Amino acid sequence: MAICAVYTATTPIHTTKPNFGFHQKHQLILYTSKERSRRWGRLSSNSTSSEISCSAETKTVVIGLAADSGCGKSTFMRRLTSVFGGAAEPPKGGNPDSNTLISDTTTVICLDDYHSLDRTGRKEKGVTALDPRANDFDLMYEQVKAIKDGVAVEKPIYNHVTGLLDPPELIKPPKILVIEGLHPMFDSRVRDLLDFSIYLDISNEVKFAWKIQRDMAERGHSLESIKASIEARKPDFDAYIDPQKQYADAVIEVLPTQLIPDDNEGKVLRVKLVMKEGVKYFSPVYLFDEGSTISWIPCGRKLTCSYPGIKFAYGPDAYFGNEVSVLEMDGQFDRLDELIYVESHLSNISTKFYGEVTQQMLKHADFPGSNNGTGLFQTIVGLKIRDLYEQIIAEKAAAPVEAAKV
Ligand SMILES: Nc1ncnc2c1ncn2[C@@H]1O[C@H](COP(=O)(O)OP(=O)(O)OP(=O)(O)O)[C@@H](O)[C@H]1O
Ligand SMILES: O=C(CO)[C@H](O)[C@H](O)COP(=O)(O)O
């Protein structure tokens, strides 16, 4: 087992405003992206931080999850980590405002931590957090690469409560690293490090409904301020976030239902799972017959459906010039236990036992989207990621045996 160094932070604060309490002892220094990267991000063999032992053989599998804010990334992450078992929690004894979630198998880091401008800095420069100029892609690349290579890093923390950049936290290489946020597929160097990538594509109507529900109910924002915030972000969303979906191996697209004519309530959803063909370790899910075009209304004796019912569709398609398979569900389940009927007609879902999808959905019945295609497809993608991870590990384990044979 090799002893690996740790990326270390010499001066943790990078902000435009003096900090309070915990932060006071640090100097106020503004770095250019390059200098900040040099100070914070270089691999340090004479590091004063604790050194981390790591094994070169157990390389971290890296998953990217892209979406705009408030589009269900956290919910998806909870479903994903649950597939691997064990609860995901913030680093023990660390910053209470850390965005990181660690479980036995997975570490989820939020790419907001690579904002190079804090809230005030963005305001002063007149840029949004979605703008690449507000993010440090050099550091993101260096640190994700280091973790993938089995090296711990001192990752910055963007504090969503204060809007400031906090002192960094130590991230040790996990079995699976998930990088979630606005830009996991924006920088080609970071993109190339991903073993699998997902884009949550929430249509404007649905995004608006979800944001209103959360920001009005939980955060006390007014309808006008929510509308204004969505409008203000839209140009940068279109320019920098949305184009990433062309690179994703799987896209979960959430649209208004087509089952209710002129629906404007936004409660019933039509959800598509777009799966790229030819991705290593990933075989797209199919309904009934692989490669066919299917339309299926499962409502009847085995599935209870109230108005407006449920409709599935499956078939081949093209997406940004790539060959894909698309599985679609419009409508919502009345009884989650009956989902087993739908599950039994899906293939390549990478379950370990009959009914595992239904079991996962029942386990998290209280999560948003559990009665529709968002929850169903997020669960299935979680199972596919577990399968991908297990294939990569099995291949690595077999490699020395194969080499010895030769
Ligand atoms: N599948 C879903 N169905 C209905 N509502 C949902 C769904 N997913 C998320 N939401 C709504 O959107 C809100 C935001 O979800 P979540 O916290 O998972 O998103 P996020 O992308 O992690 O947000 P942020 O980046 O702002 O923290 C939830 O509180 C919920 O109201
Ligand atoms: O798009 C976002 C991703 O979560 C946030 O708006 C961004 O990180 C800035 O955060 P805050 O609004 O807390 O200053």
Split the chain (406 residues) into runs of 10 and give each run's mean pLDDT: 41 34 28 38 35 55 95 93 88 95 96 98 96 98 98 97 96 97 98 98 90 78 86 95 98 96 85 98 97 95 91 98 98 94 97 97 96 97 97 88 71
Atom of ligand 1 nearest to the CA of 378: 1
For residue 110, the CA-to-ligand 1 centroid distance in Å is 15
pLDDT (0 to 100) of residue 214: 79
Contact 59, 149 (CB under 8 A): yes
Atom of ligand 1 nearest to the CA of 75: 18
Range list of β-strands (E), 132-218:
153-158, 165-171, 176-181, 196-202
Contact 55, 1 (CB under 8 A): yes
Which ligand is nearest the CA of 216, by number? 1
Contact 111, 244 (CB under 8 A): no
Sign of CA dihedral 294, 372, 220, 242: negative
Which residue's alpha carbon is at the smallest distance from atom 10 of ligand 2? 160
Instruction: Name the helix (H) or strand (E) containing 313.
Output: strand 310-319
For residue 80, the CA-to-ligand 2 centroid distance in Å is 23
How far apart (Å, rounded) are the C-alpha atoms in residues 122 and 63? 28
Ramachandran bin of 389, using left for φ above 0, alpha for ψ from -120 to 50, beta for the remaining angles: alpha
pLDDT (0 to 100) of residue 170: 97
Residue 332 main-chain phi, psi, to 5 deg: -140, 155
Atom of ligand 2 nearest to the CA of 115: 8
Is the ipTM, as predicted for this complex, more than 0.85? yes
Q: Which DSSP string do the residues of 356-381 spell out, in sequence order?
A: HHHHHHHHTTTSTTTTBHHHHHHHHH
Q: Give the CA angle between residues 140, 146, 147 to the nearest 5°.
A: 90
**Hey, is 350 helix, strand or coil?**
coil
pLDDT (0 to 100) of residue 34: 40
For residue 395, the CA-to-ligand 1 centroid distance in Å is 36
Which residue's alpha carbon is at the smallest distance from atom 25 of ligand 1? 69
Q: Is 241 in the pocket of ligand 2 (CB under 6 A)?
A: no
Contact 331, 257 (CB under 8 A): yes
Sign of CA dihedral 36, 37, 38, 40: positive
C-alpha neighbours within 13 Å on the C-beta side of residue 184? 30
Atom of ligand 1 nearest to the CA of 160: 27
How far apart (Å, rounded) are the C-alpha atoms in residues 113 and 136? 9
Length of the chain equals: 406
β-strand pairing of 3-4 with 52-53: antiparallel
**Residue 362 neighbours by CB under 8 Å, 6+ apart:** 336, 337, 339
Sign of CA dihedral 347, 352, 358, 364: negative
**Hey, is 269 helix, strand or coil?**
strand
Which ligand is nearest the CA of 271, by number? 1
Residue 249 main-chain phi, psi, to 5 deg: -80, -30
pLDDT (0 to 100) of residue 48: 33
For residue 46, what are its two tokens?
């004479």
User: Hey, what's the torsion of the CAs at 55, 58, 59, 60, to 10 degrees?
Assistant: -110
Which ligand is nearest the CA of 158, by number? 2
Does pTM surpass 0.90? no
pLDDT (0 to 100) of residue 108: 97
